[in-house]
Every structure is written in structure tokens, then in C-alpha cells.
Amino acid sequence: MHYKQLTKDERYQIKACLQINMKQVAIAKLLKRSLATITKEIKHNTGKKGYRSKQASDLATARRLTAKKHIKLTPEIRQDIVKLIKQELSPEQVCDYLEAQGKTKFHHETIYRLLLEDKHVGGTLYKHLRHLHKSHRKRYGSYERRGRIKNVVSIKQRPSVVDSRSRIGDWENDTVISKNKKSAIYTLVDRKILYTIIVKLNSKNATELAGKTLKVLEPMPSKIHTVTYDNYNTPTN
């Protein structure tokens, strides 16, 4: 016989049974499930606030989606991901970095799912995400607004072709400052092909940032249309 995933209704029943202190053996008999299935469900999908049916369902779904990636996501890789996320790199940048280092290659959605799973069990890794794509905001709720620049030019004012990712030459810039704030790096990523340039900064000086941007992009003038700096956009001529 093949294992059948627990349904949402069954998880609601498990929650109700646990609230009246019903034993796991009795829950298994009530749902006509094996004791091992119920034990595993409660053990793996219980958060800091106890067993909650929706949370349990979300955790189970996230676990299934990442199941095929367990070989790639070794303890060492997971440790690298946590370290890089805490340095406020985006999931996309983490994937690019790990691939550039020759460690592994996978889609950034894998990291978003890991952050979601961590959040459901009381973790705070998601708080290191400085900005979220529209598709992820509903998962994580409101996000940190510290460091937002006042009176910036809205990203909505950039050409619509940039959002379509239909051409090479629309770049996005992101700055990452070390924990001790003594050093920084910034990345330039082409929106269409995800080609990534990583540059080390000696300071947070805007003049240095502008100078190094020009230096790394100068060899490819035909591949530059726009450059988006974090929350604002600078079109090029």
C-alpha cells in the first residue's frame, strides 16, 4: 500500500483531539491511520505555539517541495545559506554566490521555502530579507522598512520594458554591508539572463560606488539600458 498524505480535515481533527488531551493511539484509531503516521505528523509539524492545522499543512507542503533537493541541501549548504541570508543577501544572490563558488545550483524559490518553514517554527531568518517580491509578501507579512531612502524616484517610473525581462541590459544593483559595518560589497544582476557581477567596496561612499559601477560596465556599453539601485531607477543614455 502507498502512503497517503494527511488531509486538511484530518489535521483539523488532530488539532481538536490534542486540545482535549487525547492520546496519539486514540487519534490514530479515530482517523484509521497508523500510530507512526500520527506520531510523525505531530513531531514534525508542531511549532512553538503547539500543533496548528494550517501551519502543519504549510510545513508538510514545504517539506514535500524541497524533498528532491535534500541531496543538494546538505548541512554545510544550509549553514552557508543561513550565513549569507544573515548578511542580508537576497535568495537570488545566495543562489548566484553558491553556484559561483562551485558548491551547488538550485532555484531561489528553494530558499524562500526554507525561510517560510523556518518562520513557521518560530525562526527569524525571514526578517533579514530587505525587500520581497510581490509573490512572497503575503507569505511573510509586512517587511522591515529601516534604511529606506526618503524622496527617492519611484521604481514604477522606469520603462515598462524593464519589468518584462525581454532584453539584455537592464541591471539591478544591491549593496550588502558586513555585520561590523567596516566593509561592503555590491552586486549588479542582469534581469533577463541573471548574469551577476560582484564588486568589493572599501567604503559606503557613493562616489566609490558610482566609479566602480562605471568601471565594470564600461567594457559592455551595448549591454546597458537601465540600472536600478535598490529602490530607485537610473536610466542610461
For residue range 193-207, list pLDDT tens digits in order: 888 888 887 766 677
Query: Could you tell me which of 146, 143, 222, 206 has the C-alpha nearest to residue 173?
Result: 206
Query: Could you tell me which of 24, 43, 46, 45 has the C-alpha nearest to residue 33?
Result: 24
In percent, how much of the chain has pLDDT > 90? 11
Non-local CB neighbours of 211 within 8 Å, separated by 6+ positions:
none
Residue found under cell 497517503: 4
What is the dihedral sign for C-alpha 96, 100, 101, 102?
positive
Average pLDDT, the chain: 76
CB atoms within 10 A of CB 14: 25
Full 3-state SS string of 106-157: CCHHHHHHHHHHHHHCCCCHHHHCCCCCHHHHHHHCCCCCCCCCCCCCCHHH
Beta strand residue intervals within the chain, DSSP E: 46-47, 50-51, 170-177, 184-190, 196-201, 226-229, 232-235
State residue 233's pLDDT score: 38
The answer for 231, left when phi > 0, alpha when psi is -120 to 50, beta otherwise, is alpha
State residue 155's pLDDT score: 60
Structural domain spans, the chain:
8-57, 70-140, 155-235
CB atoms within 10 A of CB 4: 9
Give the predicted TM-score (pTM) of the model.
Answer: 0.34
Higher local confidence (pLDDT), 149 or 14? 14
d(CA 167, CA 76): 36
Higher local confidence (pLDDT), 194 or 26? 26
Cell of 58: 504549510
> Is the predicted pLDDT of residue 35 greater than 90, yes or no?
yes
